[in-house]
Amino acid sequence: MFAWPTAIEISQDILIKPRPESEMVLLEKWYKNTPENLFPIVDGRLKVPRSGDLKPSGRSNIRIGMFRYDPWMFIRLGNRKPSDPNNPTTLEGWRELEASLIPSTMRDEVRFVRLQLEYYAAETGADTEKAKNELVDWLRSLPEVQRTILLTFLVSNMSRFERFVGLWQPRERTPLWDKNRELIRAIYDMLDPGPQERARQQLGAIE
C-alpha cells in the first residue's frame, strides 16, 4: 500500500540589514545617471537588454595598459551595480570602490570585476599567475549558486574578447584574448556540464 512521505519542515534564520546611507546615495546616483535605453525590460520572468544585447556607450570604457575595453567584457549583464556609464574606468577606481563597500553580494560583484582586471593588467609571468590564482581561489570559496553564476558568465563572455571587423571577415582578437582562454582553462574543472561543453568547443577551435 502506497504511503505519502511525511512532510519535512525546515527553518532558516535570515539577517537583513539596511545599507549604509553612503551606499544608498551611491545607488541613487548610479540610477539617475543611467540613460533610459540602458535599463532592462521584463521578458517573461527575465530582465533582458532592450536591444537584445548591451552595446557600450563609450563613456566608461575600462583602461588596461594602452587600451580601453568595453565594460561589459568584465561586468555581468544581470548586475549593473555599477555599470556603463557609471562604472570606474581604471583598476585603481575598482579597488577604491570595493574598499568603500560593506560585505554584500554587491561588493562581491565589484570584487569579481576587480579581480578580473587585476589578472588582465598583471605583468606576464609570476604576477599573472598570482592574480589568476587569486581569482580562481576566490571563485572556489563562494557558495555554489553564486559561483555557478559567475563561472557561467566567464564562459558566455568569451566572444567579447574578439572584435567584430565586418561582414564576411574573421573576428579580430583583442590583446586580452590569450589571457582570457588561459583563465577559462583554469576554471574548467569548476564548470557545470553545459558551460563546460561550451568552453571545450571554443577552446578546441583554437587548439
Please report the pLDDT score of residue 110 as a whole number: 97
SS3 breakdown of the chain: % helix, strand, coil, rounded to 5?
50, 10, 40
DSSP character at residue 47: E
> To 10 degrees, the CA torsion angle through 141, 138, 109, 25?
90
Distance CA 149, CA 13 (A): 24
Torsion of CA 141, 94, 92, 144, to 10 degrees: 10
pTM exceeds 0.75: yes
Tens digit of pLDDT per residue, the chain (207 long)? 666 667 788 888 888 888 999 999 999 999 999 888 888 888 887 777 777 667 888 899 999 999 999 999 999 977 778 989 999 999 999 999 999 999 999 999 999 999 999 999 999 999 999 999 999 999 999 999 999 999 999 999 998 998 765 555 566 788 999 999 999 999 999 999 999 999 999 887 544
- Residue 103's pLDDT is 93
Instruction: Count CB atoms within 10 A of the CB of residue 18.
Output: 7
Distance of CA 37 to the CA centre of its chain: 21
Q: pLDDT at position 172, please?
A: 79
pLDDT of residue 1: 60
